[in-house]
Amino acid sequence: MHDPKVDWCYRTEPDPGLNGRQLDWPRGKVLGGSSSLNGLLYVRGQPEDYDRWRQMGSPGWGWDDVLPLFKRSEKQERGADEYHGDDGPLCVSNMRLQRPICDAWIAAAQTMGYPFNPDYNGATQEGVGHFQLTADRGRRCSSAVAFLNPARARPNLTVLTHAQTEKVLIEDGRATGVRYRDISGALKTVSARAEVILSAGAIGSPQILMCSGVGEAAQLRSHGIEVQKDLFGVGKNLQDHLQARLVFKCKEPTLNDEVRSLYGKARIALKYALFRAGPMTMAASLATGFVRTGDHVATPDIQFHIQPWSADSPGTGVHPFSAFTVSVCQLRPESRGEIRLAAPDIGVYPKIHPNYLATQTDCRTLVDGVNIARRIARTAPLAGKIAQAFRPSDDLAMDDYDGTLNWARDNSTSIYHPVGTCKMGSGADAVVDARLRVHGINGLRVADCSIMPEIVSGNTNAPAIMIGEKASDLVLEDRRSGPTRKTPVSRKMTSRPLDNAKEQAVEDDH
């Protein structure tokens, strides 16, 4: 994170729900996208999430439809069962690290009545336990490692790196290719023989669509973009998980102490190099909990991420004292934000308006979640290990709703799950249909987190990969059932330097 070589380093606009604060929104700028710099946590969400997608107008996306796709991609260390697969390309493994403070958190939560759940991706999500990771014996298994590397030698695959797509080329309502800028700054064109599939993520995909003339007509015209298709929903319906990070000072050492000295860092590195063990195998968090804030909800509406370290914000270096973090996030926020173009140019970052904490339910749920976290911290055996509540301090009364909400507005940050900006469905704000085809444009699909009509109740990487699995089925089905659209114009890749000098044609097959 925060390295512009591999992170787009987006930043949100000042957000009213966060008392005007702006947040960093890291996104992977590397093969594998954000799965190459994410926290490795393997979480699918709740069956009800997908059943809601289906009911909102997306047949084929209910839990019974998508569970086989999750299983198909999975190589589960614990073996196959009703909920898991063990011969897919995506390695899913147990945590190779334990820390007493995280185990004490799980035990205290159990004392409070939250059940232990050995598999939150299994029969039920509810309960507390340890995370599983998209990792293979301590090594990251990004989507590039799992899916792209094994396919690299295929003759019908060309991977262009350091290439930024500027727009989808659209002729007579049909996508005919893309224009991109290569590392030298030259503008080039790739023609599509069958179709174009955008997978640029919840920020990139709507931005490319809008730069291509697909989006809300008034917004496009205000930037001088010729409208190819007036699609109101492009960039709308933005959802994210907001996390309130509570920090507790500890009476015993935590990871903060382990990484503070050069000797400690060397020990960690050596342990990893020799045994592929220790903190370098760790995901962003060790323990988790999916809980309901009350009987008014049927399934968990809060997720906890428990980290045996603490920092002012993730990626900025740990605190100089022993402490751990309890991150609280509301699983299904009602608030909706928006991505808007800042300029008709892909090189200018769009404006990101997350619109966090904009509804009463979102505020109430987050405050309730923070209070549950504070109660768990006051429960044995965790309470005995805590020296002091650091953030928020105990000066903030638990029954002070406004104070707690204001603390959350001042301190919360993204957990990096933006979704929903090319919404799937059939309503007026839908961008793609249930086969991921952009409404009103032939030969163009979107396949990434942007298509989620509603954010899932959990981390978004496993669902993004499931969307990829589904997309591959849809593409193959449509090809097998015969071309529904005109076959393409050409099999050529053309290259046009920026100074508009003569065009050069290159043989290719896409």
Ligand X SMILES: Cc1cc2nc3c(=O)[nH]c(=O)nc-3n(C[C@H](O)[C@H](O)[C@H](O)COP(=O)(O)OP(=O)(O)OC[C@H]3O[C@@H](n4cnc5c(N)ncnc54)[C@H](O)[C@@H]3O)c2cc1C
Among 17, 18, 24, 41, binds ligand X (CB under 6 A): 41
> Per-residue string for binding with ligand X, 315-354, x by CB under 6 A?
-------------------------------x--------
135 in Cβ contact with 35 (< 8 Å): no
User: Tokens 């900006």 belong to which residue?
Assistant: 421
The CB-of-66 to ligand X minimum distance in angstroms stands at 15
Among 17, 28, 279, 354, binds ligand X (CB under 6 A): 28
Residues numbered 388-417 forming contacts with ligand X, rule: CB under 6 A: 416-417
Residue 369 in the binding site for ligand X (CB under 6 A): no
The CB-of-71 to ligand X minimum distance in angstroms stands at 17
- Cis previous bond, 392, omega within 30: yes
**Is 164 or 371 the residue whose CB approaches ligand X more closely?**
164
Quote the DSSP letter at residue 71: H
Residues numbered 154-183 forming contacts with ligand X, rule: CB under 6 A: 164-165
**Is 196 or 200 the residue whose CB approaches ligand X more closely?**
200
CA-to-CA distance for 217 and 227, rounded, in angstroms? 6
78 in Cβ contact with 322 (< 8 Å): no
Residue 135 in the binding site for ligand X (CB under 6 A): no
Residue 130 in the binding site for ligand X (CB under 6 A): no
Only one of the segments 49-57, 428-436, 459-467, 478-486 lies at the binding site for ligand X (rule: CB under 6 A); that segment is 459-467
The CB-of-482 to ligand X minimum distance in angstroms stands at 29
Q: In what order do the strands lie in the sheet with 187-191?
A: 164-171, 174-181, 187-191, 492-496, 504-507
Q: How much of the chain is in helix, strand and coil states, percent to nearest 5?
A: 30, 25, 50
Give the total residue count for the chain.
510
Q: How many CB atoms lie within 10 A of CB 224?
A: 8
- For this structure, is 130 an active site residue? no
Among 17, 29, 255, 268, binds ligand X (CB under 6 A): 29
CA-to-CA distance for 263 and 7, rounded, in angstroms? 29
Helix H or strand E segment including 229: strand 229-230
Q: In what order do the strands lie in the sheet with 90-94?
A: 74-76, 90-94, 132-133
> Per-residue string for binding with ligand X, 416-455, x by CB under 6 A?
xx------------------------------xx------
Q: How many CB atoms lie within 10 A of CB 270?
A: 12
The CB-of-415 to ligand X minimum distance in angstroms stands at 7
What is the distance of C-alpha 478 from the center of its chain? 28
Among 12, 199, 303, 404, binds ligand X (CB under 6 A): 199
Site residues (vs ligand X, CB under 6 A): 1, 26-29, 33-35, 37-41, 43, 164-165, 199-202, 204, 208, 284, 346, 416-417, 448-449, 459-462, 464
Q: Return the active site residues.
A: 417
